[in-house]
Amino acid sequence: MKENTNKKIKTADLVMIALFAAITAVLSQIAIPMPTQVPVTLQTFAVALCGYCLGAKKGTAAILIYILLGVVGIPVFTGFKGGIVCIASFTGGFIYGFLPFAFISGIPLNSKAARILLGMAGLMVLHFFGVLHYSILTSNGFTESFLLVSAPYLVKDAISVVLAYFVSIAVNKATDKALGRL
C-alpha cells in the first residue's frame, strides 16, 4: 500500500509547533495582576500569532501542547503556574478557550481584513469561554462576570490580535525565506 507523503508532518512543522508553544509559555509570564485574579497578559497576542503563523491545525496543535504541558505540572501558565488546578481556576476558561481562538485565527483567507475579523471572532469565542467559566466558579451572573473579566481586556486584546496579524506577516516571510519556500 502506497503511503501518502502529503499527510506526513514535516520536521520543520514540528519544530515550528514546539517553538510557538514555547513562545506562548514565555509571553504568558508577562503579566499584570488584577483584583479579579485574571491578569493582563500577552497570551492573546501569542495565541493569535500561533494561528496566524501556523494556520488553524498547527496553531491549535501548538496551543494544545502548551496547555498539556501546563496541565501535567510544567509551570508554563501565567505566574509560572502549572497543574490541572489551573484549568479549574478563575482563568481556566480562557486557557481552554485558547484552542478555538487559535483555530479560528488560523483559518486561511486572502483578505487582510477578513483574517483580522476572523481573529476578532476567535477572540470573542475565547472571551465567551473565559466569562462562562468565571461565572460558574464565582456564581456571578454572566453579565457581571463579563464586566469583571472581559470588558476591561477587550481593547488590549483586540489590539493584540491586530498586532499579531502584522507580526505574522513578517514572521511568515522570514520563515519561508529560511526554509527556501520563496
pLDDT of residue 1: 36
pLDDT of residue 177: 86
Distance CA 130, CA 145 (A): 9
* Model confidence at 7: pLDDT above 80: no
Section 93-113 average pLDDT: 96
* Model confidence at 143: pLDDT above 50: yes
Taking the CA atoms of the chain, what radius of gyration do you get in angstroms? 17
* Model confidence at 104: pLDDT above 60: yes
Distance CA 33, CA 21 (A): 23
Distance CA 127, CA 121 (A): 10
Section 6-19 average pLDDT: 87
Distance CA 61, CA 54 (A): 9
The rounded percent of the chain whose pLDDT value lies above 90 is 85
Model confidence over 35-68: pLDDT tens digits? 888 899 999 999 999 999 999 999 999 999 999 9
Q: Cα dist. 47→8, 97, 126, 136, 151 in Å?
A: 24, 10, 10, 24, 19
Among 65, 53, 174, 75, CA closest to 119: 53
Section 108-135 average pLDDT: 96
Q: Cα dist. 139→39, 90, 144 in Å?
A: 20, 12, 10
Is the full-model pTM beyond 0.85? yes
pLDDT of residue 3: 41
* Model confidence at 169: pLDDT above 80: yes
pLDDT of residue 2: 39
pLDDT of residue 178: 85
